[in-house]
Amino acid sequence: MWSWAAQVGRWLEVEAALARACADVGLVDRAHADAVASVCTLPSVDLERLAAETSAASTPIIPLLRQLTDGLPVEASSALHHGATSQDILDTAAMLGIRSACSIIEEDLRGMGRRLAELADQERDTVMAGRTLLQQAVPITFGLKAARWLHAVDRHLDRLRSLSFPAQLGGAAGTLAAYGEQGIDVAGRFASLLELCDATLPWHAEREILHEIVSAVTAVSGTCGRISGDLLLLAQTEVAEVVDGRAGGSSTMPHKRNLADATFAVASARLAEASAASILTGAAMGHERSAGSWQAEWVAIPRTLEAAAVAVERTRRTLEHLRLDREQMRDNLAQTYAAEPLAQALSVALGRAPARAVVDELVDLAARGHADLLELARRDARVTAAIAPQTLDDLGDPYGYLGSTSALIDRALQRWRQEKP
Amino acid sequence: MWSWAAQVGRWLEVEAALARACADVGLVDRAHADAVASVCTLPSVDLERLAAETSAASTPIIPLLRQLTDGLPVEASSALHHGATSQDILDTAAMLGIRSACSIIEEDLRGMGRRLAELADQERDTVMAGRTLLQQAVPITFGLKAARWLHAVDRHLDRLRSLSFPAQLGGAAGTLAAYGEQGIDVAGRFASLLELCDATLPWHAEREILHEIVSAVTAVSGTCGRISGDLLLLAQTEVAEVVDGRAGGSSTMPHKRNLADATFAVASARLAEASAASILTGAAMGHERSAGSWQAEWVAIPRTLEAAAVAVERTRRTLEHLRLDREQMRDNLAQTYAAEPLAQALSVALGRAPARAVVDELVDLAARGHADLLELARRDARVTAAIAPQTLDDLGDPYGYLGSTSALIDRALQRWRQEKP
Amino acid sequence: MWSWAAQVGRWLEVEAALARACADVGLVDRAHADAVASVCTLPSVDLERLAAETSAASTPIIPLLRQLTDGLPVEASSALHHGATSQDILDTAAMLGIRSACSIIEEDLRGMGRRLAELADQERDTVMAGRTLLQQAVPITFGLKAARWLHAVDRHLDRLRSLSFPAQLGGAAGTLAAYGEQGIDVAGRFASLLELCDATLPWHAEREILHEIVSAVTAVSGTCGRISGDLLLLAQTEVAEVVDGRAGGSSTMPHKRNLADATFAVASARLAEASAASILTGAAMGHERSAGSWQAEWVAIPRTLEAAAVAVERTRRTLEHLRLDREQMRDNLAQTYAAEPLAQALSVALGRAPARAVVDELVDLAARGHADLLELARRDARVTAAIAPQTLDDLGDPYGYLGSTSALIDRALQRWRQEKP
Amino acid sequence: MWSWAAQVGRWLEVEAALARACADVGLVDRAHADAVASVCTLPSVDLERLAAETSAASTPIIPLLRQLTDGLPVEASSALHHGATSQDILDTAAMLGIRSACSIIEEDLRGMGRRLAELADQERDTVMAGRTLLQQAVPITFGLKAARWLHAVDRHLDRLRSLSFPAQLGGAAGTLAAYGEQGIDVAGRFASLLELCDATLPWHAEREILHEIVSAVTAVSGTCGRISGDLLLLAQTEVAEVVDGRAGGSSTMPHKRNLADATFAVASARLAEASAASILTGAAMGHERSAGSWQAEWVAIPRTLEAAAVAVERTRRTLEHLRLDREQMRDNLAQTYAAEPLAQALSVALGRAPARAVVDELVDLAARGHADLLELARRDARVTAAIAPQTLDDLGDPYGYLGSTSALIDRALQRWRQEKP
């Protein structure tokens, strides 16, 4: 996608489209435009030489044009790059690459959404500990967790679908000067040939559209990094509620269950954010075309989109291979779940403070032994003296404290299903 | 807007709305809810004590509730903060603040848009140098520059208008557990009372909506920083094409024409970006509520919105007080404008390389003396031998090379005028 | 430290020192300098009015000088702010604030170091699981973990001690023009009166020194954020190896053991990084004094130092109140520790692949039940058929696999003890 | 430097050194270590296959070891990678790469320093406008500007020289467990064979050293970005005080004087900062080795160092080819220089306010015409009525207002010359 050949290929595609657009409005001869189009193919270009010349010229377009001109009849050469500036070609080609990259990201996100919708539905009653500040709080279900992730994915898809990918054509200072009266027609035709959107104005210096795209994409990779990060936490040896079905231990540490894909998703999300920063920040002073900010984008755009795509793909793969340990989820929850109802029940008999002291003690014991808090309570004389066995049993049912969990899952699923085109 | 009193005021507003919402669905007694609402006013709160207690408790809500409870009849106290977690209050109140801040930013942006539309139209024929890589390139008009800025503002307004501001209600782990079957109704009612949007799901850990808002807002401030930065460049002593009408020299340096507002707009745009980074980046591991990322938002949200608002306001003010020096624009342009047509005309007579040598020499002379290039050409024997005086005169007309400038301005104006509600 | 009064106080201190320095080299009358010094006190200034005027003037120094001049005999007023530019005062005062802030951070870091040295030594044999990629790996001791943190603190202290805090004096464009031949003497005297370092050159536009300080400070807060983050992980309900001695459960969730200070340390480290970014990044074009970057520093410096100080203080406090659960550390480790030696021992009898299959099965069982892996092995017929009970017992001793742990702790302690002044 | 082959080459170098270190302390057989060393060469490795396997395995070291083992006698294979973890190899190899990259940067910086020292000395009397907030302020000399840049370079060289580059050896969890009693000896020997520094402790999770290096390097590239940015400002068409001697106009715009190298230096400085962010920020929770942060470094380290090196090299080249237009500097300055003395002289005759009005008017005229302010004053009747011609002439001498310029240049040169090893 962002290899040298792929990039050069897009520049050629753009130059060909420009020549055709100029012919379509009658600014250049049709035969000349055809000649340009036929030379604008990868085999016409010596890629290695171009790389070397790019480095010397500080721009790829001038040496590319030189190579193309060599293969063109002299009379056709004026149809090549007619009225354009290098940035017109580079920005338009970047948009072609961005659009493809976004469509791959979208496809992966959709796959992730399908998997999450499945998990949300199937695991809607899979009770587990809700955790806040990295401490167990009150119960949730894994289905709700999946539904929350699904909803994030769902909204990202909306956001990605709302993006537009404009062509860039402005000429040396954004006035379309070389096309006389026909500038706007050429620009419209050019965009249309490339199936890009026709920008209201050239955007050499107004990078808002890029800001919008890059924000949306890094929001996606940020979400993926967060999901993968949460899965890493759930897969910790001591938590062990999920595992990547592919995770084998290392040869030297047979007990390890590393989540390689999730780890790299976290890393890639960080890299996407970092690369994006050179696009998103730094109000560049620069009039009609900036000195420095734009050149940084040449590198930052591919890096950002590549890293984001990796974050999405690896998170999707992790979710696909995810195996839940529902029993472990329930056992982990048992360690704390009954604490609050137990404290309430005990305080009726013992008063608030003494009840709390008993519960605190039992909670610490449960933590130490990864034990079922209620099990410990049943063996505690202070508790059994105060609470009848049947009552005690009822305290341990997390299903009684799930509130709107199922309704919330339905909401997320409903929205997801509506959205599907 | 983000003062301590304003923030506490919003927390009170949110607590009152929550009590009312619970009463509306029948979960708490109406009279108790009214009692809660009546105590939820700033005079009920000792703000200084609250600040001190917040610092000790690491959260403002628990001490706030303590103060409110002191003013409530015992029987009404269960109607206070019913079923909520601190984050529900803080996030919802933050959304109220964000919505107000965004609406101020929108208002300022609209003002800026009106001014830019005026400039785009009035200055559509005000010829000046287009500049790329900080060098004069080919002519544009100031109207086109204003139109480009207008279009950026126009798109930002679209983006801001598309934002939604959801309430937050989830309870301890996002399941609305304390409301039994009625969680979704309470949440809907709660949002509606505050005129916020009803989130599909609680978003304690899913901060995508915040990412979207903060991206949009820093995109706005980034644009303002760029516009202000470009104005600073145009106002440089040696360029002197614009001036802030309010800029007087300092007492010690009577020649200075500092653009104070533009300078602070640039600074504020940087600050907005920096503050936003702690919201936008860092895929936070955190299950149902994170340890650290969310707490950083308490500070980062106000800072980002304040800085962005300053960037917008100061850019708007700079534009309102902007005075153009149209003559200077034209004189600066004269320094280079004729270079290309002159080179072409000369090369017919002298050949390409000798023509270029003459032009290079004249360009350097013009640069040195801030002189009119064509004026110099008229006094150069090599030129006058090759080109007739009348032909020479015609080379100097920048209007011949403005391409679609006026049509592009119309496009931007047309879109702007459509958009106005 | 960074309150309005504190900042104004430092500006006054700097203005007084400047007047004295000018008197010392004979440029202003001693009596006039004394008059200036005596008016440069907080009671001479109407702080609220100054705040309002600052906002209007876009700089605090001009209105401050106006207020001071009002309190000065006319003939002394030329001794005030003699030859300085606003940035001289603001930068020098910022350095005074930075130096104090750094010295508080240093003091807290030293306290943290003492606590970590204690932990490193006392817990050198406290065996626990080393964890990589959030999975148990091989054993370490808590002492080694503390030693690693200690060493980071130790190096930070070196780095902080190597910082220098220069005064700033350059005049309008950094030439010390107003002092004639005596500029360098005035600057030296000025720095010396404030006990700041005498900069080789004015650094209005060369912010390398600030970059160095801010990098060092955010490196410190980054380390503190990481330590606090690791403590949050160790304190998770399911891990429960450490607890903040002050952590009580919430009233509604008696089982919670939130680490409030650690959480805010993580948040503050993020905030410090974000604020620092507007100082550390953005190669500002700007000649002798920039338009925008410097003004952003006014806000970014206090924010960065405050946030960093909070990160350090709260991490130190968390460590001070930290309670270890050594038994739990050992139990958690027992879940996996024997896996590798068991696999090796079994493969002698069963062959590599079958041995691995048995171990994989046992590891999963141990994970599920938070059980002692060796305990499970002792009850497995395939194991007991292959390995003698005594041999099996020996496999479970983590002390045999600690390598240089103790020697590494000694290295860190030795360096720490040498460094103490 | 960071090509795939170069990276694999460093991994091989590190594996060879590890085998030798183990042999040196007697842990492995010397002959086996020699066998390892002889297979650790690029020709032993199928680079393409390794790249594919790395992508599948999510780590390069395991497939690399597989390839190496294939080429080793079975009995020697235990001498390969003995007791190490992948991170030991990758971090140590990264340090070798970083050290080389830093030494290239240092060399370029020294070259830049020599050029700047030359400029500082030769241009010490080359008067030009000092500019603040992008407005002319008071005069400086180009020599002073160069001296300020020189001093920044000088301090960067100190900072780079103070960096240390440690080897990494810790084994699976940083305890050097596999080496028994000899861990510290192996680590010391290993570092010494690679001429790296012997770290006090393994630093798998303590990335402070990397933070220090990366801060220092991005501080360098930030300075270079700033210098290049200032040169771009000085080279603007309307300022024209410097030019890149290699800058020719484009074929279509013969008047352009683009500074390609300076432009790419600005872009590269931005890219270095952005890449560095994923190393510098994000207090990674991670115990003994993190999940995600470290993997991001694999990419971020090469990117940061490459971009920084480009920023330095291109800035150095720009400075080497820099041509000053001393006459233009003087002419630009003439536009404003006399404003302050003129206002003072006039106010004696006319009073403060009327004098200021006259000066304001003349300043605006001078700006408009890029004219000499004093020249205009000589033709103004209000001025000539108030000030004698001779007095007027004296007002225009900028040399009278250079203060300590020359002494400051000497200071910078003196420090620079001392520092040279």
The ipTM is 0.94
Of C203, C285, C401, the CB nearest to D229: C285
User: C173 and D132: CB-CB below 8 Å?
Assistant: yes
pLDDT of residue A282: 64
Q: Which residues are within 8 A (CB) of A374 and not within 5 positions of it... i.e. 6 or more apart?
A: A334, A337, A338, A342, A392, A393, A395, A396
Of A134, A325, A340, the CB nearest to C253: A340
CA distance B343 to chain C (A): 33
CA distance D151 to chain C (A): 8
**DSSP-assigned beta bridge partners for residue C244:** C322
Which residues of D lie inside 8 Å of A (Cβ-Cβ)? 58, 172, 225, 228-229, 232, 252-253, 259-271, 273-278, 282, 291-296, 298-300, 303
**Residues of chain B found within 8 Å of residue C264, distances taken between Cβ atoms:** 58, 292, 295
**Residues of chain B found within 8 Å of residue A85, distances taken between Cβ atoms:** 132
CB atoms under 10 Å from CB of A420, counted, come to 11
Q: Single out the catalytic residue among C162, C250, C251, C368.
A: C250
Active-site annotation holds for C289: yes
User: D254 and B370: CB-CB below 8 Å?
Assistant: no
User: C133 and D201: CB-CB below 8 Å?
Assistant: no
User: B291 and C263: CB-CB below 8 Å?
Assistant: yes
Number of H helices, E strands in chain A: 17, 4
User: B278 and C295: CB-CB below 8 Å?
Assistant: no
Of A149, A180, A211, the CB nearest to B403: A180
Tally of residues, chain B: 421
Q: How many CB pairs (< 8 A) connect A and D?
A: 104
Find the mean pLDDT for residues D108-133: 97
User: B260 and C58: CB-CB below 8 Å?
Assistant: yes
**Residues of chain C found within 8 Å of residue A282, distances taken between Cβ atoms:** 281-282
Among all chains, which residue has been given the structure tokens 């009920």?
A: B44
Q: Are strands B322-324 and B242-244 parallel, antiparallel or unpaired?
A: antiparallel
Find the mean pLDDT for residues B247-253: 72
Q: Which residues are within 8 A (CB) of B257 and not within 5 positions of it... i.e. 6 or more apart?
A: B235, B237, B240, B243, B244, B247, B249, D135, D367
| Closest residue in D to A290 (Cα–Cα) | D263
User: A278 and D282: CB-CB below 8 Å?
Assistant: no
The one-letter amino acid code at A263 reads T
Q: Single out the catalytic residue among B30, B131, B148, B289.
A: B289
Is residue B275 very low, low, confident or very high in pLDDT (cuts 50, 70, 90)? very high
Q: How many CB pairs (< 8 A) connect A and C?
A: 142
- The 10s digit of each residue's pLDDT in B364-410 is 888 888 889 999 999 999 999 999 999 898 888 888 889 999 999 99
Which residues of C lie inside 8 Å of B (Cβ-Cβ)? 58, 172, 225, 228-229, 232, 252-253, 259-271, 273-278, 282, 291-296, 298-300, 303
Among all chains, which residue has been given the structure tokens 């004189």?
A: B331
Of A233, A277, A291, the CB nearest to B287: A233
**Residues of chain D found within 8 Å of residue C262, distances taken between Cβ atoms:** none
User: D134 and B253: CB-CB below 8 Å?
Assistant: no
Give the burial class of D187: count Cβ atoms within 10 A of its Cβ; 0-12 exposed, 13-18 middle, 19 or more buried: buried
Q: Single out the catalytic residue among C246, C289, C326, C415.
A: C289
- The 10s digit of each residue's pLDDT in D287-325 is 999 889 999 999 999 999 999 999 999 999 999 999 999
Find the mean pLDDT for residues D159-167: 96
Preferred mutation among B132, B310, B329 to probe A, highest tally of A CBs within 10 A:
B132
User: D256 and B131: CB-CB below 8 Å?
Assistant: no
Tokens of A256: 């390890």
d(CA C169, CA C18): 9
The sign one gets for the Cα dihedral D135, D141, D143, D147 is negative
Q: What percent of chain D has pLDDT over 90?
A: 82
Q: Which of B318, B230, B213 is nearest to B276 (CA)?
A: B213
User: C129 and A237: CB-CB below 8 Å?
Assistant: yes
CA distance B339 to chain C (A): 29
Written as tens digits, the pLDDT of chain A (421 aa) is 899 999 999 999 999 999 999 999 999 999 999 999 999 999 999 999 999 999 888 899 999 999 999 999 999 999 999 999 999 999 999 999 999 999 999 999 999 999 999 999 999 999 999 999 999 999 999 999 999 999 999 999 999 999 999 999 999 999 999 999 999 999 999 999 999 999 999 999 999 999 999 999 999 999 999 999 999 999 999 999 999 998 766 767 888 888 999 999 999 999 999 999 989 886 566 899 888 999 999 999 999 999 999 999 999 999 999 999 999 999 999 999 888 889 888 988 888 889 989 999 999 888 888 889 999 999 999 999 999 999 898 888 888 889 999 999 999 999 999 965 5
Of D206, D212, D280, the CB nearest to C151: D206
User: C201 and D226: CB-CB below 8 Å?
Assistant: no
The subunits that touch chain D, with at least 3 C-beta pairs less than 8 Å apart, are: A, B, C
Of D172, D228, D402, the CB nearest to C138: D172
Q: Are strands B242-244 and A127-132 parallel, antiparallel or unpaired?
A: unpaired
| Closest residue in D to C131 (Cα–Cα) | D288
pLDDT of residue A262: 96
User: D135 and B237: CB-CB below 8 Å?
Assistant: yes
Q: Which helix (H) or strand (E) holds D131?
A: strand D127-132
- The 10s digit of each residue's pLDDT in B225-248 is 999 999 999 999 999 999 999 876
User: D254 and B360: CB-CB below 8 Å?
Assistant: yes
User: A211 and B212: CB-CB below 8 Å?
Assistant: no
CA distance D278 to chain A (A): 6
d(CA A224, CA A226): 5
Cα angle for residues C206, C210, C212 (degrees, 5° grid): 110
pLDDT of residue B112: 98
User: C340 and A368: CB-CB below 8 Å?
Assistant: no
Identify whether the C-beta of residue B46 lies closer than 8 Å to the C-beta of residue B67. Answer: yes
The packing angle between helices A293-320 and A260-280, to 10°, is: 160
d(CA D68, CA D65): 5
Of C133, C181, C287, the CB nearest to D233: C287
Find the mean pLDDT for residues D240-247: 91
Tokens of D55: 């992508």
Q: How many CB pairs (< 8 A) connect B and C?
A: 104
pLDDT of residue A225: 96
Identify whether the C-beta of residue D153 lies closer than 8 Å to the C-beta of residue D116. Answer: yes
Q: Which residues are within 8 A (CB) of B149 and not within 5 positions of it... i.e. 6 or more apart?
A: A206, B116, B223, B227
Written as tens digits, the pLDDT of chain C (421 aa) is 899 999 999 999 999 999 999 999 999 999 999 999 999 999 999 999 999 999 888 899 999 999 999 999 999 999 999 999 999 999 999 999 999 999 999 999 999 999 999 999 999 999 999 999 999 999 999 999 999 999 999 999 999 999 999 999 999 999 999 999 999 999 999 999 999 999 999 999 999 999 999 999 999 999 999 999 999 999 999 999 999 998 766 767 888 888 999 999 999 999 999 999 989 886 566 899 988 999 999 999 999 999 999 999 999 999 999 999 999 999 999 999 888 889 888 988 898 889 989 999 999 888 888 889 999 999 999 999 999 999 898 888 888 889 999 999 999 999 999 955 5
pTM to 2 decimal places: 0.96
Identify whether the C-beta of residue C356 lies closer than 8 Å to the C-beta of residue A254. Answer: yes
- The 10s digit of each residue's pLDDT in D225-243 is 999 999 999 999 999 999 9
pLDDT of residue D249: 64
Of C184, C270, C291, the CB nearest to D133: C291
User: A300 and D271: CB-CB below 8 Å?
Assistant: yes
Preferred mutation among A90, A295, A303 to probe D, highest tally of D CBs within 10 A:
A295
Q: Share the mean pLDDT of chain B.
A: 94
- The 10s digit of each residue's pLDDT in B132-158 is 999 999 999 999 999 999 999 999 999
d(CA B90, CA B62): 12
Find the mean pLDDT for residues B271-286: 84
CA distance A143 to chain B (A): 11
Preferred mutation among A135, A251, A327, A344 to probe C, highest tally of C CBs within 10 A:
A135
pLDDT of residue A419: 60
**DSSP-assigned beta bridge partners for residue C131:** C136
- Residues of A annotated as part of the active site: 250, 289
Torsion of the alpha carbons at C398, C404, C405 and C411, rounded to the nearest 10: 170
CB atoms under 10 Å from CB of A421, counted, come to 5
DSSP tag of A162: T
